[in-house]
């Protein structure tokens, strides 16, 4: 699969989101989202549809009430979530060492997420968003499904401690990019890439939401016979752990395709010029350096009913589920 490149821009707007309202749209027109800002009212913004698959949104909207049922439809994600957080913490801690932000003898228990600005794209019911907010990150979770956002907001409202660190916003990433100038230290999009249309456009949008020197974390499924067997045949058709038609094999993306994408991708340096940064991953090297990008396999152990983060370069570990991290160049 070849992922084409496209660039998108942004504009500046000041303010803090305090409420989200949905407005009715005429039939056959995109639904518009009204955004209420503290101190002023922002005009309605069209919901961009360049990467949104309406069938996928409808599918997950129907399942939204099950997000926080640890034995239900999303039980695998509940078990996976601690491993995702572990990987994010490890990479941020490693980057902090490399940057000299913290001394090398800092204990591994150090929390590198505290006070960082984090964006969770396709947050669903908020499994990852809540975890990152509890670690002190100023977290914004966004999703194209209003049902998902409502469930996420309702669950988070039960914990007053989250009020100062967690916000949810019903919008696709493309709209956020053009509506809000804010960029993030960390952008996450977990188990989303295999459900969007135009993955290259989606990746470009996520990349543009990252601050220079910031981090992009992805979790998705590789397009291999093993992945088809485990995620579609076994999980959907045989064990019925996941609803049928949740996954589409042709949408799965191999780790090598993500690496190739970021070997070619260059960030806009300034929205007022056409200058571009260097590629996020050095295209002259066969494999990314450890300070540029990393791929780690996620392996499910059915005997222990838990996910395991595979060791680096473990043979065959990325043939199904995997995590991907890449860092935006700090200097052009």
pLDDT higher than 50, residue 48? no
Q: What is the DSSP letter of 3?
A: -
**Contact between 22 and 148 (Cβ < 8 Å):** no
Pairwise CA distance, residues 65 & 43, whole Å: 31
Q: What's the pLDDT score for residue 332? A: 66
Pairwise CA distance, residues 121 & 207, whole Å: 11
Average pLDDT on 48-72 reads 87
Residue 194 annotated as lining a ligand binding site: yes
Residue 327 annotated as lining a ligand binding site: no
Pairwise CA distance, residues 258 & 302, whole Å: 28
Residue 231 pLDDT level (bands cut at 50, 70, 90):
very high
Q: What's the pLDDT score for residue 108? A: 81
- Which CATH number does 67-101+110-328 carry? 3.40.50.150
Domain boundaries, given as residue ranges, for the chain: 67-101+110-328
Residue 141 annotated as lining a ligand binding site: no
Percent of the chain with pLDDT over 90: 74
Residue 191 annotated as lining a ligand binding site: yes
Residue 195 annotated as lining a ligand binding site: yes
**Residue 195, SS3?**
helix
Reported as a single tens digit per residue, the pLDDT across 74-132 is: 999 999 999 999 999 999 999 999 999 988 888 888 999 999 999 999 999 999 999 99
Tell me the helices (H) and strands (E) count for the chain, helix number first. Answer: 8, 14
pLDDT higher than 90, residue 261? yes
Reported as a single tens digit per residue, the pLDDT across 131-142 is: 999 999 999 999
């Amino acid at each position: 699969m070849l992922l084409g490149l496209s660039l998108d821009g942004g504009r500046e707007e000041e303010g803090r989101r305090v409420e989200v309202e949905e407005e009715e749209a005429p039939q056959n027109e995109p639904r518009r989202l009204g955004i209420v800002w503290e101190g002023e009212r922002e005009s309605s913004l069209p919901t961009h549809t360049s990467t949104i698959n309406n069938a996928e949104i409808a599918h997950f909207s129907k399942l939204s009430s099950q997000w926080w049922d640890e034995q239900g439809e999303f039980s695998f994600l509940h078990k996976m979530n601690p491993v995702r957080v572990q990987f994010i913490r490890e990479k941020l801690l490693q980057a902090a060492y490399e940057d000299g932000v913290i001394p090398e003898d800092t204990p591994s228990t150090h929390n590198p997420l505290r006070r960082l600005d984090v964006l969770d794209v396709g947050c669903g019911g908020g499994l990852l968003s809540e975890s990152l907010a509890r670690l002190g990150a100023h977290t914004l979770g966004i999703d194209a499904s209003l049902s998902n956002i409502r469930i996420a907001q309702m669950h988070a409202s039960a914990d007053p401690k989250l009020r100062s660190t967690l916000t949810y916003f019903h919008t696709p990433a493309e709209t956020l990019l053009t509506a809000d100038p804010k960029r993030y230290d960390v952008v996450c999009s977990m188990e989303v890439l295999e459900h969007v249309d135009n993955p290259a456009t989606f990746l470009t949008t996520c990349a543009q939401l990252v601050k220079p020197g910031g981090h992009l974390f992805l979790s998705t499924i590789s397009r291999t016979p093993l992945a088809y067997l485990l995620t579609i045949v076994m999980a959907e058709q045989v064990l019925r752990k996941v609803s049928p038609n949740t996954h589409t094999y042709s949408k799965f993306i191999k780790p090598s395709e993500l690496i190739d994408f970021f070997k070619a991708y260059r960030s806009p340096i300034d929205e007022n010029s056409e200058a571009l940064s260097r590629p996020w991953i050095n295209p002259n090297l066969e494999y990314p350096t450890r300070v540029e990008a990393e791929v780690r396999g996620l392996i499910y152990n059915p005997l222990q009913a838990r996910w395991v983060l595979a060791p680096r370069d473990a043979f065959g570990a990325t043939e199904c589920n995997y995590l991907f991290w890449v860092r935006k160049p700090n200097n052009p």
